[in-house]
Chains A and B, each alone.
Chain A
Amino acid sequence: MLWYVFIKRSCLVLFILLSAVLQVGCSVAPWERGNLAKTQMLIVPNPNRTALRRHVFDSKESSQGGMGTAGGGCGCN
């Protein structure tokens, strides 16, 4: 089963990354987070533009999902 393998692999990758990043992550103190606070370091710095592009991609490509959001309804094909 394709999806089973996919989920199994994803979980493995996730677990390894998770344990790795939790180790390093602890070292960043609150007063060191100035750069992270910048708009350009947001996951989605410009949500409207991202939504517009996703609208185009969802209409013109066969893949959906990702980019930090659950999909809404759209019949715009």
Chain B
Amino acid sequence: MAVIKKGKKTLAALSCAAMGLPGIQAKAAVPVAEPESNVQYGYYREQGDRMKAEVYHTDFILPFADRVEFTFSADFDTYVGATPLYSVPESVPDIVSAASAEFEAAWHMASPLLFSDESTSIESTITQEIVLREGFNYFVDPFNGDFNVKPEFKKEGKVRTIEEFIGFSVDETATTKQIKAEQPRESRTMPILGANLYLGPVTVGLSGGFSNEPDFNSAFGSSNLSWEFNNKLSAISLGYSLTSNDITRNGGHGSGHHSGFGEVLDETSTFNSFTGGFSQILSKNTLLQLNAGYTAQRGYLSNPYKFVYVRGEVTADEYYNLLEETQLDDGDWAKYTDLEVVGVDIFREVRPEDRDQWFFATQLNQHIPALDASVHFNYRYYTDSWKIRSHTFELDWYQSLPFGMTVTPHVRYYSQSSAEFFAPYFLAPRADGHYSSDYRLSSYGKISSGLSVSKQFTKGVRLDAGFEYYIHKGSLKMGGDGVGDYADITSYLLNASLNVNLSSLSSSMGSHKGHDMHAHHGAHPPAGVMAGHMLGKAGDLMVGYQYMYVDKAGDTVRGAYNASDESIVNNACAGKTCSSKAREMTMHMHMFNFMYAPTDWLNLMLMPKIISMEMDMEILPGADLDEAHEGAHLSEGLGDTLMMGLFKLYDNHTHHLHLGVGVSAPTGNIDATLSGLEDTDLQGYGMQLGSGTWDLKPSLTYTGQANSWSWGAQANATKRLQHRNKDGYALGDEIQGSVWGGYSFFPWLSASVRGIYTAQGSIRGKYDGNSLLSAPTDFPENYGGEFWDVGIGMSVSPSRGTLVGNSFSVEWLQPVKHDYNGYQLEQDGSLSVRWGYAF
């Protein structure tokens, strides 16, 4: 039997090769028997002040019926840092480079130099260069009594000055410099749903999802088919995917991305992608895979935030005409160029509206039995209709070590030629009107090397960690004819992931699960109770997810009563006059819960979380507009991480008592700014993702159950362990008490009612960095208070069928009486949804 099982696993390799769903790989040619889950954290950073990105990923594979499994994955990225906008010859002075960032400001800076009538240099230019040749009377008409320069020569002088200004003598061999712009913190969310159908030798996979960014939304779907034949030694796969993108940009402030000069943009693009693959077992130690693919991209394929420097696209004559016609900043550029003007000789890039891409890839896996190691060799050739060609080579050495460890060193080399419309800068216009100076379309080479370590724990839990370092250089291009060194950059990638395979877990744990579920029956505390439940037996594990939504909207309240705008303006800003107030604030919190019981009386719990908050500000009547800020402000990313030990104090099946001792680590960012740019004015304290301090979180929980009834009570507290955080303040301490009762209508369904009292202190200290101090949320005294809430909840825990072991619960908290410190936005209520899987 064991041999046959191994044979099946081999097919796993094949079908994995054949199956390809974005984000999730099918791992076996049979559906998973029990759920499987992964979480991963990735951190990518470029040298210096360049791009930093964090990537959070989670996925689940859930079996459904015999031949079907569902897959779900979610990715959440945030990124911030400087990105190259365009590049110019080193000799072009800063006045041109400044033009791109804030065109109007730069234009006004340039205008007096170029076009001032008072400028005597214009007339002296004429005299120096032409008077000697043409004679003085050529320029003035003294015989008619007019000693001023004739108007037509005034024009010539000005045009010449413009020419001189924009036509700096550029040495063709001059070095290139990159002009960068600060990218405000931004995030992307990508959920994907999929299903795999297993029909004997044929496997069908379907998936679809979205990727949402403030300025780039895409929706995609894919289908894959794989077929095993030849005694399951060969497999063929076919795939098709369709992606539809929507690219938008609002002009001006508040767009959340490179605010400043820019026209409103609303464009679309569509990608159709076809792949085909063939996998073959060559020997008992060798596996080969071949893949080929074609993608047709149509529509807006430019990068809306990249610029190009083009000399001569608008000539000096045309600049002069524009200036004479009107103010240049609202001049009619379209008469002179098809490009979008963003500065003096700076334009938005334009790429062709179609792109055809082809690739051919191969992978060879060779096992080396003597070393218990496997070598993977990969090669990919890529070419497209933009004339980019690339070669990618990769070598990975998977070395098994004792204690379930695997160490994998790897190297990769990548080399590409440039797009035909790429240049660092353009000294003449191109006939086809296509331009890009995006260094990613240049010719360069990249070498990277890294190490990844994997440790398989018993019971189907695996931890992975990896590091990779990249060197991007023009001179590393194959053949050496790269773009030069101005865009050379190094970067690195760190990642850590946890894989939980419940199939292995349940099989190793035998029959105890049913009993465990019985013990939990009806005793799940309401969804909003934190650390209210303990695992019953040594060796038990639980993974869970909890979502919390909080909405504050409408009136600003002082104490327990509504405050008028006048009262806010005069009293809510610590002696200053308030100029803005919050209109609405929403928070989405995603908490991931891992619990493990090393002994019967102790549970260890780890809970990282991701928070997304949005606050909408409005300007108060009579405000000082210099300080006021309005519109939506965002704050998103990793929150504080809770680590907790739960100690069982008493348990006799009817009554249960446990103590929780938790520590919250300050992993949440507390530097969220209004503009999203680093080191600018901070958002209000409530919009920061963490406390910035190490916090102690003790709790005491009692639960009881008899027949269909269950009940419980919990007291918990939050004590800040540090006097101040790095920004000069500490959030208030907190105590909370709650009491609940529940009734099971069916063995699998129960409802609960809960009463909650919470007291939270106001903030101690205050920001010692930049803060606008213009809204109530900017002041420490407007935080905390005393709150009474009532919670209505429902809980479902299936006792039979494929969903045994899962528990779902939901609870809505309705404010009953809230007594706020200072002036605060009133809370409408909060929703908690919890899912847990114990095994």
Return the contact of A66 from the options B55, B369, B382 (Cβ within 8 A).
B382
- Specify which chain B residues have a CB less than 8 angstroms from the CB of A61 in the assembled complex: 390, 414, 416, 440, 446
Chain A CB within 8 A of B758 CB:
no
Return the contact of A62 from the options B215, B222, B388 (Cβ within 8 A).
B388
Instruction: Give the residues from 23 to 77 in chain A that come closer than 8 angstroms, CB to CB, to chain B.
Output: 24-28, 30-53, 55-57, 60-77
Q: Determine whether the beta carbon of B388 is less than 8 Å from that of A63.
A: yes
With A30-B7, A62-B388 known as contacts, the answer to whether A35 contacts B271 (CB < 8 A) is no
Determine the residue in chain B with the shortest Cβ distance to A60: B440
- Specify which chain B residues have a CB less than 8 angstroms from the CB of A13 in the assembled complex: 360
With A33-B10, A33-B284, A73-B243 known as contacts, the answer to whether A68 contacts B374 (CB < 8 A) is no
- Specify which chain A residues have a CB less than 8 angstroms from the CB of B289 in the assembled complex: 43, 68
Q: Determine whether the beta carbon of B497 is less than 8 Å from that of A43.
A: no
* B359 to A: closest C-beta gap in Å: 4
- Give the distance in Å from the alpha carbon of A24 to the alpha carbon of B273 in the complex: 32
Q: Determine whether the beta carbon of A73 is less than 8 Å from that of B25.
A: no
Q: Determine whether the beta carbon of A53 is less than 8 Å from that of B493.
A: yes
- Specify which chain B residues have a CB less than 8 angstroms from the CB of A44 in the assembled complex: 16-17, 25
- Specify which chain A residues have a CB less than 8 angstroms from the CB of B382 in the assembled complex: 63-66
Number of A-B contacts (CB under 8 A): 270
Chain A CB within 8 A of B357 CB:
yes
Determine the residue in chain A with the shortest Cβ distance to B239: A70
Q: Determine whether the beta carbon of A66 is less than 8 Å from that of B285.
A: no
Return the contact of A52 from the options B6, B55, B219, B414 (Cβ within 8 A).
B55
Determine the residue in chain A with the shortest Cβ distance to B19: A68
Chain A CB within 8 A of B406 CB:
yes
Chain A CB within 8 A of B452 CB:
yes
With A46-B452, A61-B414 known as contacts, the answer to whether A69 contacts B20 (CB < 8 A) is yes
Main SS of the interface on chain B? strand
Determine the residue in chain A with the shortest Cβ distance to B9: A37
* A11 to B: closest C-beta gap in Å: 9
Return the contact of A21 from the options B271, B288, B303, B468 (Cβ within 8 A).
B288
- Specify which chain A residues have a CB less than 8 angstroms from the CB of B188 in the assembled complex: 75-76
Q: Determine whether the beta carbon of B6 is less than 8 Å from that of A42.
A: no
Determine the residue in chain B with the shortest Cβ distance to A24: B282
Q: Determine whether the beta carbon of A33 is less than 8 Å from that of B271.
A: no
Main SS of the interface on chain A? helix
- Specify which chain A residues have a CB less than 8 angstroms from the CB of B295 in the assembled complex: 64-65, 71
Chain A CB within 8 A of B156 CB:
no
Q: Determine whether the beta carbon of A37 is less than 8 Å from that of B6.
A: yes
- Specify which chain A residues have a CB less than 8 angstroms from the CB of B231 in the assembled complex: 26, 30
Determine the residue in chain A with the shortest Cβ distance to B396: A45
Determine the residue in chain A with the shortest Cβ distance to B212: A75
**Contact code string B364-385 (vs A, CB < 8 Å = 1, else 0):** 0101010001100010101111
Q: Determine whether the beta carbon of B283 is less than 8 Å from that of A69.
A: no
With A41-B367, A68-B291 known as contacts, the answer to whether A75 contacts B211 (CB < 8 A) is yes
Selecting from B38-46, B552-560, B617-625, the interface stretch reads B38-46
Can you list 26 contacts pairing A with B, beta carbon distance less than 8 Å? A10-B360, A17-B290, A25-B230, A26-B230, A28-B282, A32-B284, A33-B10, A35-B284, A35-B367, A36-B9, A38-B400, A40-B400, A41-B365, A43-B17, A48-B499, A51-B23, A52-B57, A61-B414, A62-B441, A63-B392, A64-B295, A66-B359, A67-B291, A70-B274, A70-B293, A75-B216
Binding site for A on B (CB under 8 A): 3-4, 6-7, 9-10, 12-14, 16-18, 20-25, 27, 38, 40, 42, 44, 55, 57, 59, 77, 79, 188, 190, 192, 209-211, 213, 215-220, 222, 224, 230-231, 233-234, 239-241, 243-245, 247, 271, 273-275, 277-285, 287-293, 295, 303, 356-361, 363, 365, 367, 369, 373-374, 378, 380, 382-386, 388, 390, 392, 398, 400, 406, 414, 416, 419, 440-441, 446, 452, 454, 464, 466, 468, 472, 491, 493, 495, 497, 499
11 further interface pairs, Cβ-Cβ under 8 Å (given A6-B358, A65-B273, A73-B220): A28-B283, A30-B4, A37-B12, A43-B16, A43-B363, A48-B495, A52-B493, A56-B44, A64-B357, A70-B20, A70-B239
